[in-house]
Amino acid sequence: MRVMPLLITLGCITLSGCSNMFDKHVEYKYVEPNNYPVLKAVGYAPISLQSGVNKSQKQLMAIKASKLEAYRELAEQVYGQQITAGTTVAGSIAQDDYLQSKVQGIIKGAQVIKAYAVDDTYITELELNMKRVHDLYIGEIKPREVKKVTYY
C-alpha cells in the first residue's frame, strides 16, 4: 500500500509541471534600428485650374492640393498602394476595362522642405525622416525585447 501515496505524489508533480512553480522578474532592453531612411515626396497642382474667384484664392487652393498630393505620395511609399483592376469580355470583345488605386494610412512627422510656384504649377516637397518617426513611436509604444529573466 506504499505504492498508492507514491503514485499520488508523482501525479501531482506531473500535473503541476505546466504551472508556474517559480516567481520571475523580466528585464527588457529597448530595440533601436541600425539606420533610419529618409523618404521624400513631391506634390504638384496647377494654379489656374483651381476653383476660386481670383488668382490669390486659386494659388491658396493649389498650395493645399500640392501638399495633399505630396502626403499621398509619402503614404504610397510607407503603406503601398491597393490596385483594383478588371475587364469585362463579351463575345471575345473587351466591353469594360477599369483600373482603380487606393492609398490609406497615417503619416506622422513629415516636414515641408520647400513650397514654391513654377509658372502655373505649385510644388510642395516633403520629407519623412524615419528617425523622427521612430522617436514619435517610442514615445507612444515602447518596443522591447527580453534582456534578462531572473527566477526566484
Per-residue pLDDT reduced to its tens digit, 70-112 = 999 999 999 999 999 999 998 888 888 999 999 999 998 999 9
Half-sphere exposure of 52 (CA within 13 A, CB side): 16
d(CA 84, CA 29): 43
Q: List C-alpha distances in Å: 132 to 27, 38, 98, 135, 140.
A: 26, 10, 39, 5, 13
pLDDT value of position 99: 92
Indicate the domain borders of the chain.
Answer: 22-151
In tens, the pLDDT along 17-64 reads 555 556 777 777 777 778 899 999 999 999 999 999 999 999 999 999
pLDDT classification of 9: cutoffs 50, 70, 90:
low
pLDDT classification of 14: cutoffs 50, 70, 90:
low
d(CA 150, CA 97): 63
How long a stretch of residues is the chain? 152
In the numeric block, which cell numbers belong to residue 6?
507514491
109 conformational bin, left if phi > 0, alpha if psi -120 to 50, beta if neither: left
pLDDT value of position 7: 59
pLDDT classification of 16: cutoffs 50, 70, 90:
low
pLDDT value of position 2: 64
52 conformational bin, left if phi > 0, alpha if psi -120 to 50, beta if neither: left
pLDDT value of position 5: 62
In tens, the pLDDT along 108-148 reads 899 999 999 999 999 999 999 999 988 887 777 766 677 77
pLDDT value of position 49: 96
In the numeric block, which cell numbers belong to residue 121?
504649377
Higher pLDDT, 49 or 149: 49
pLDDT value of position 20: 54
Q: Around Cβ 96, how many Cβ atoms within 10 Å?
A: 9
